[in-house]
Chains A and B, each alone.
Chain A
């Protein structure tokens, strides 16, 4: 069980959260200009790193707010928590 720090509510057990997949996947500026392959890449292709990964979480059982997390996919250690819409923090 992970302990995830909601930026609003503080540390809560993982079961209170919903996972939202990779963070910083922005909607294409001009979707109609994309080829089918580019559109498929936007919709379905995600990174799958071994190590730090920026991802979205929602505190669904409590304040219901979305936020971003950098989590190590090997150790499950949470390296950073930061608001949606802010740049990805640099992890040393």
Chain B
């Protein structure tokens, strides 16, 4: 075909851009019991390698913290979060827009073994939830024990929240990251907004 394709300027819209206002309203409606906001476009890399091989050490050096080998642990190194997804699989989360650079750094650091570094930044978006009732809100749709004694800062889990598959990460100051597939994000946002109604009104 001789026809020319028109290249339009890219306008990036995050999966929850249309829900931003309603998510922001939750804090006021619940009197600060729960705050919800999307953290869009974070860099996310799926990392797979032999946890006992040299690539694991190389990855740890490059990222600035050893890859967590215990199930359900999310390590932090500066702006990076490295969440355990499986015995040979991690999710490296970094600042928005940093995925290209991070992928290149990891690829060159890991060498020629059999590591896999895949940019999955578009796969999931991140919801940040904070406030004193966050654990209660998540518990409405999550079967895990989210009490601080069993799920405290630095814990992570892949599980289901309101039937949607998510990665849960407990952050500092009692906040949570909920990583949800882009196609499930608006459903989950609706569910969270609806569930937060529990904390509105004078009794909250």
Contact = CB atoms under 8 A, between A and B. Distances in A.
Contacts of B160: 15-16, 61
A12 B85 contact: no
Interface stretch (A19-27, A29-37, A47-55, A62-70): A62-70
B36 interface: no
A63 B86 contact: yes
A9 B87 contact: no
Interface residues of B, number: 13
Interface in B131-183: 143-144, 157-160, 165
Contacts of B85: 63
B159 A61 contact: yes
A87 interface: no
B72 interface: yes
A13 interface: yes
A13 B85 CA distance: 18
B143 A63 contact: no
A10 B159 CA distance: 12
Interface SS of chain B = strand
A44 interface: no
Interface SS of chain A = loop
- Interface residue range, chain A: 10 to 19
Interface in B76-124: 85-87, 89
Contact of B143 (A8, A10, A12, A64): A12
B28 interface: no
Contact of B158 (A10, A13, A15, A62): A62
Contacts of B197: none
A65 B86 contact: yes
Contact of B86 (A8, A12, A15): A8
A10 B86 CA distance: 12
Contacts of A16: 159-160
Interface of B: 71-72, 85-87, 89, 143-144, 157-160, 165
Given A8-B86, A63-B87, A65-B87, 15 more contacts: A9-B157, A9-B158, A10-B71, A10-B72, A12-B144, A13-B143, A15-B160, A16-B159, A61-B165, A62-B159, A63-B71, A63-B85, A63-B86, A63-B158, A64-B86
